[in-house]
A and B are shown apart, each in its own frame.
Chain A
Amino acid sequence: MVMSISVPHQDKLIKILLAFALLLNILFWFSVRDIDARWTNVPPPPNEKYASLYGLGDSSFSYRINSLMLQNLGDTGGRVTALEDYNYETLAQWFYLQDRLDPVSNFIPYLASYYFGSVQTPEVLSPVLDYLVDIGKRPYGEKWRWLAHGVFLARFEMKDIDKALEMANILSNVENDDIPGWARHMPAFILNAKGEKEAAYALFLEILKSSSDKMHPNEVNATKSYICTRILSKQEAVQNPICKNIY
């Protein structure tokens, strides 16, 4: 059809059609301009059997991609999402999936405890604490630190002393020779905070009797100081032989 039209007319016709196509594009732009990417909350994690497909079979690469995605989740496309709006149940599922992909890295435990742990509504933290317990009771590396941080979150953020005590007991029994005394003594600190001063005192006394030869002198002194200043009253401390050199 176009071939039968003279060249000047063809030129004019193409210009008109081009302008028409441009107009259609502008109209289409108006119809979609206000549609932004929407936050649909934390997406469900894939099955662990297929998770490494994201990295073309390389599980470590999948782990790193997912980690960066979780770090930036909800805060992309010019949007900032409050942590309290996240679905923490689904987040914890992602954490466990990531743990299957790379159980050695500390990136996800860090993200779970320090970043997602600072949520404005700490009552949603329960699944994160369960995750930190599972990670923290591993006997290798410095994994116990995540459990210790979990105790802090339960004690001071969630104000759930029973949960904190439960976690502190797990921490004190982790089979890792590198765990320092303060972490081993965590149940006594929590008992003291709970108001069970006699139990806390008994626990600290037992620790001093059984482990003071293995503890650093500074740690022994710090433990004695804690007993005398935080557990015992001033009158009790004056009469207690442990506090002899402190008062």
Chain B
Amino acid sequence: MSIPLIKYVLIAALRDKLVLSLLVLILLGSALAIFLGSAAIIEKDQFVMVFTAAGLRVVSVLGLVLFVVFFLRRSFDGKDIEFLLSRPVSRLNIVFSYGAAFSFLAIVMGIAVGLAVYCVAPHLFGSGHVLWSVSIIIENIIMVNVALFFAMYISSSASASLVTLGFYVLARMMGQLLGIVDSNLVESSGIYSMALQLVSVITPRLDLMGQTSWLIYGVDGGIGIWHIFAQGFVFSLLVLFATSLDFVRRQF
């Protein structure tokens, strides 16, 4: 990894006002969640916390994905990538440096979201809150690496963003979809079921991460912190190597 390259991406993020925009979105999202949650007749704090957590989770992923995709496509269109390749930097170095820089941004956003959720109901803080925040950081890291992958493969910014967000929705719903396959509602050995099972092999189980029930009732013992770290590690590795494969073969 190259430290100057990482700095270059982080400066671009600051220049694009990504951090500022997302902080404003976090404030607005929290305010909206407080407004909606306060309408509940009882358990107002629980409503506020769940709405804040679930809303900001999506907002942070959306912001990060859009930044990664548009930054990368702009780098290709503005010949920045070609300029970097003319320097003594290997292609693998570029991919992993970009991945590290985006992951750093993902960590910052995850911490900011975790703090916002803490601030809306500090008296509900517990071990579940820590696990939730860590899982959101890992989820953000996974998604920026997925965005990096699709932005490398797909030349249109809009298409790459939509595909990445579609992948996010699929990953969030994978538990439900597999549940349908495992139920008696469909034939588990049919072609669609088999196709879904195949897709699920290379799809992270984001439905197991960032469960808002942890924030209210604490950790239930089903998913541990090591499971979350392991998922983040194995899937980020897969996506970064897949990105590298395309980038190393690419002709400029």
Please give the residue numbers on chain A whose beta carbons come within 8 Å of chain B beta carbons, in ascending order: 49-50, 52-53, 55-61, 64, 67-68, 71-72, 102, 104-107, 110-111, 115
Q: Is the CB of B183 within 8 A of A49?
A: yes
Q: Is the CB of B41 within 8 A of A71?
A: yes
In angstroms, Cα B36 to Cα A105, docked, is 18
Question: Chain A residue with minimal CB distance to B42?
Answer: A110
In angstroms, Cα B213 to Cα A146, docked, is 22
Interface of B is mostly: helix
Q: What number of B residues sit within 8 Å (CB to CB) of A?
A: 32
Q: Is the CB of B213 within 8 A of A60?
A: yes
Q: Is the CB of B50 within 8 A of A64?
A: yes
Please give the residue numbers on chain B whose beta carbons come within 8 Å of chain A beta carbons, in ascending order: 36, 39-43, 46-47, 50-51, 53-54, 58, 169, 172-176, 179-180, 183, 185, 206-207, 210-213, 215-217
Question: In the complex, what residues of B have CB within 8 A of residue A64's CB?
Answer: 46-47, 50-51, 212
Question: Chain B residue with minimal CB distance to A72?
Answer: B39
Q: Is the CB of A57 within 8 A of B207?
A: yes
Question: In the complex, what residues of A have CB within 8 A of residue B46's CB?
Answer: 64, 105, 107
Q: Is the CB of A58 within 8 A of B210?
A: yes
Question: In the complex, what residues of A have CB within 8 A of residue B169's CB?
Answer: 56
Known contacts A49-B180, A102-B213; is-contact A57 B43 (Cβ 8 Å): no
Known contacts A52-B176, A104-B217; is-contact A57 B41 (Cβ 8 Å): no
Q: Is the CB of A56 within 8 A of B58?
A: yes
Q: Is the CB of B43 within 8 A of A106?
A: yes
Q: Is the CB of B43 within 8 A of A58?
A: no
Question: In the complex, what residues of A have CB within 8 A of residue B39's CB?
Answer: 68, 71-72
In angstroms, Cα B41 to Cα A115, docked, is 10
Question: In the complex, what residues of B have CB within 8 A of residue A105's CB?
Answer: 43, 46, 216
In angstroms, Cα B169 to Cα A56, docked, is 7
In angstroms, Cα B46 to Cα A218, docked, is 36
Q: Is the CB of B42 within 8 A of A61?
A: no
Known contacts A71-B40, A105-B43; is-contact A56 B173 (Cβ 8 Å): yes
Known contacts A67-B40, A107-B42, A110-B42; is-contact A53 B216 (Cβ 8 Å): no
